[in-house]
Amino acid sequence: MAKVSVLNVAVLENPSPFHSPFRFEISFECSEALADDLEWKIIYVGSAESEEFDQILDSVLVGPVPAGRHMFVFQADAPNPSLIPETDAVGVTVVLITCTYRGQEFIRVGYYVNNEYPNPELRENPPLKPDFSQLQRNILASNPRVTRFHINWDNQEDRLEAIENQDPVLGCGLPLSYTPVKGLGHQGGIPSLLPENSMDCI
């Protein structure tokens, strides 16, 4: 079971101008002290068409995390407008908050974001080239989409030990359970060996 469960994410200062930073107040509960930090990320989806336009607004380590309930505010700068396709600047898109532990994502909170001109005139006749300074960002805070993933919260050594400790007769049925799923297993074990330049490719 997940050692960390997110209790709430409050969207602060919403709606707000396009250029103002994102602020999320995140409360979570940890059932057992964590050996490593949690890594939180805010990902802004530039275009529904392609993941290439995703921007990681910021990533932050959170720790140390003892058992208990905790909260913090995650603030990240607004997305870089130049990386957003002009056709997608106005309208609905998505912002994602993800959390990983030892390189494994265990929760993803998604919000729909609506970017529109508050000015009725602009709304009627939007400029060809989007005017980001006039855009207002509205996060649909009331409807977070939460996806939880099951990850390995214990480290590699523990797992190996667990295998050794198993009753050998059981062995035949076991290997399946140890399959490192989708190549995440090794990352979980030795995060320090991850290439520094690898980028999120959701």
Phi, psi (deg, nearest 5) at residue 71 = -145, 155
Q: Which is nearer to another protein, 18 or 109 (CB)?
A: 109
**Cα-based distances in Å from 191 to 31, 59, 156:** 22, 16, 11
Q: Report if residue 190 touches another protein, rule: CB under 8 A.
A: no
Contacts with another protein, 17-46, as mask; x by CB under 8 A: ------x-x-xx--xx----x-x-x-x-x-
Contacts with another protein, 120-149, as mask; x by CB under 8 A: ---x--------------x-x-xxxxxxxx
C-alpha of 16 from chain center: 21
C-alpha span between 81 and 89 (Å, rounded): 8
> DSSP 3-state assignment of 116?
strand
Between residue 48 and residue 87, which ones bind another protein under the rule CB under 8 A? 48-49, 51-52, 55-75, 80, 83
Q: Sign of dihedral through CA atoms 43, 45, 46, 49? A: positive
In whole angstroms, the minimum distance from the beta carbon of 106 to another protein comes to 9
In whole angstroms, the minimum distance from the beta carbon of 29 to another protein comes to 8
Q: Report if residue 105 touches another protein, rule: CB under 8 A.
A: yes
